[in-house]
Amino acid sequence: GWICAALCRGVKEIDLRLYNLGNVLPVLFTCHSLVNLTLEAVGSKIEVPSDVCLGNLKTFCLESVFVCDSINRLISNCHVLEDLAFMYCSVANASELNIQSPSLKELTIYFDPPDIDQYSVVINAPNLVYFRYGGDIVRVYPLGNMKSLEKAEIYIWFGSETNAAHLYQGICNIRSLTLQISKEIFPTSRLPIFHNLIELEFDGDICFVEFLHCMPNLKKLILKYLNYAGTQWKALFIKIPSCLSFHLKEIEIKIPGIDTLMIELVSYFLDNAMVLERLIISMDYLTAIEKRKARNQLLQLLKSSKKCLIMIL
């Protein structure tokens, strides 16, 4: 058909959308000319042939596909692959996802594993720079602590605390982290120290102060405000994270509403962030009257850093 005709003519880029057409054509995985391949195949299954040959493939995105163990052979045979994404793929037919790629720079995994206690993902990508993970947390084995990794985006809500702790340990060298997590799987007692982390975007139903103690050199914090019991909140303020005293220069707080705990949160930062240069408070969901009231309250708070500029949006 037309797919085979395109491949025979040395096509370099294919964006293919298939729906319930059975197995994906094996010929797709023997095209030496392909550089970029995006494959969305709802209800389709991938069986990679033994003679897989994608020697020039640099970008590979799989979406809504049933993958088998042969996908691991495909990845290891893409010798110049730089960007790999699994978007909402079913891995029920694969015993594990094993990503072996010295050339890989970006990796995205969004999926719902068949069994979060038994399924595992093995990553051996020594030159990985950018890592995104979304879904239930499984056993992720980043070999060698991925020392080249600079940025990670982690979105997990279900799974075991042990699996989450293992993942954090593997990415502890990063400089930038976006984290969305549930308190049920937050490994408070087993967090590594993120010595290189300078930027954190945090969204979760736990108190972020616990996390800041593990980030001594943090310079920028983006925080989505969440409610906590006042006693729990204040108990965590006894010891001030060192990043607040010495390094944190910019804080952005995105809040859904104005209340006493939010005022306490802002006051805490202004009291303890000694080198803070900019505090941005975003109130997109408030009415004009609510914003005016909040602005009047916030601008009355005292600040320890004389350089701090307060911006209320």
Q: How does DSSP assign 31-99, residue by residue?
A: -TT-SEEEEEEET-EE---TT---TT--EEEEES-EEETHHHHHHHT-TT--EEEEES-EEEE-S-EEE
Torsion of CA 57, 63, 68, 74, to 10 degrees: 0
> Domain locations in the chain?
216-313
Where is average pLDDT lowest: 179-188, 239-248, 251-260, 287-296? 179-188
Strands 59-63 and 13-19, how do they pair? unpaired
Question: What's the confidence (pLDDT) of residue 235?
Answer: 47
The mean pLDDT value for 63-91 works out to 89
**Encoded amino acid at 23, one letter:** N
pLDDT of residue 226 exceeding 60, the answer is no
- What local confidence, expressed as pLDDT, does residue 305 receive? 87
Least confident of 30-44, 46-60, 67-81, 183-197: 183-197
Q: Give 227 or 17, the one with higher predicted confidence.
A: 17
| Alpha helices, H only, the chain | 2-8, 70-76, 161-170, 209-212, 230-235, 242-246, 260-272, 288-298
The model's pLDDT over 2-47, given as tens digits with 9 standing for 90+, comes to 677 777 777 899 898 887 666 777 788 888 889 999 999 887 888 8
Kindly report the pTM of this predicted structure: 0.87
Angstrom distance (rounded) from CA 229 to CA 231: 6
Model pLDDT, residue 151:
97
Q: Is the pLDDT of residue 179 over 50?
A: yes
Residue with the two structure tokens 């989505």: 224
pLDDT at residue 231 in the model:
39
